[in-house]
Structure 1
Amino acid sequence: MIADEASTEFHAFFERHHSELARLAYLLTGEPDAADDLAADAMLALWHRWDRVRRADHPLAYARGVVANLARGRVRSAVRERRRVLLFWQHRTDRVDNPDVASVVDVRSALARLPLRKRACVVLRHAFDLSEKDTALALGISVGTVKSQTAKGMAELEKLLGARVGAELTGRRR
């Protein structure tokens, strides 16, 4: 089998970035099993458009955007499924109103509580240490939206985790 230049480039891209894209998918969905699947689906989508992607100014940013879109679709699907399950079990009488949620909330569960765009901005900015511009490029949104969504997401995380923990996450001092 003779590998052409595009195949070689894609293989190198895959080797360099697959694990990072899987980690991004994990942080966006909170599902370790889904992370590899989403990264693989993203790579397949990239392969199908590789001629266009390889000519792009920022192929990795494009790839991150694909992962974010696939994660968004997965999250939306999960929300729809939860709604269907809730409708099905709504008639049960052993529901608990006002459950005691005074337990410690870890970062992953706190991130899972954020809306996807805020979560994506916070994860890309702080976990992946991307600039506002690179985050905007990856998500297909403006730099101003990245700034506001990141600030709002961090404020929500600080409420969920406490101000001290939120400051530690971002390296800020209070």
Structure 2
Amino acid sequence: MGTSADDAAAEFHDFFERHYAELARLAHLLTGEADAADDLAADALLALWHRWDRVRTARHPAAYARGVVANLARSRIRSAVRERRRIALFWDRRPEHTDDPDIPAVVDVQGALRRLPFRKRACVVLRHAFDLSERETADTLGISVGTVKSQTSKGMARLEQLLGSRTAASQLVGGRK
């Protein structure tokens, strides 16, 4: 039994030596991040090692390994996109100067937004203040398009209740009345 484990370890070591550079290059081309490439290749090979009994009997182990790298790269890219969009929520992207802003209405809208549950607030802000599509909002928040639609609708309805009119809610889109 020890020989079989030794054989598997030797096979994996050989596989690692032959394919690590290729997998790292693939990761680099997929993500555009040289620093992340080595980490992704190493993570992929670690995942392969944990499943080595299945991988070594696969028809094309190198193709399987490339698929693992591609999936890890896709996850990394999605995470980075979500993180950038989350950060965007917290930074004001409006122009520095607005002619005659309606300060009380802006304060009212901000207060009303704070009263919404996070998911409704995030949907309303991303859709109306950042003008993201339903799909972009769903991807940013990691939820379905249907959830974005319902949460945005319910959030806007609640804002109208809190603010008393749609006119005040229009402050979300940059101070227009």
Instruction: Indicate which of 25, 28, 31 corresponds to 2:27.
Output: 25
Quote the residue 1:4 is aligned against: 6
Q: Which residue in 1 is equivalent to 2:92?
A: 90
Where do 5+ consecutive residues of structure 1 fail to align?
A: 95-174
- Structure 1 vs Structure 2 CA RMSD: 1.8
The AA in structure 1 aligned to 2:40 is: L
Q: TM-score, normalised by structure 2?
A: 0.50
Q: Give the deviation of 1:91 after TM superposition.
A: 4.7
What does residue range 95-134 of structure 1 map to in structure 2 within 5 Å? none
1:44 and 1:74 map into 2 onto residues whose CA distance is 16
Higher relative contact order (CA 8 A, sep 6+): 1
Is residue 33 of structure 2 the alignment partner of residue 37 of structure 1? no
Instruction: Give the match for residue 54 of structure 2.
Output: 52
Runs of 4+ in 1 over 2 A off after TM superposition: 90-94
Query: What residue identity is the alignment partner of 1:8?
Result: A
Distance 1:90 1:72 in 2: 29
Aligned to 2:144: none
For 1:48-94, what per-residue CA distance to the aligned partner results, in whole angstroms no more than 9, with x for missing partners?
00000000000000000000000000000000001011111135535
AA paired with 1:71? A
Identical counterparts, % of pairs? 77
1:22 Cα deviation from its structure 2 partner: 0.2
Q: Which residue of 2 aligns with 1:68?
A: 70
Counterpart of 1:163 in structure 2 is none
Aligned partners of 1:72, 1:53: CA distance in 2, in Å?
A: 21
Distance 2:87 2:95 in 1: 15
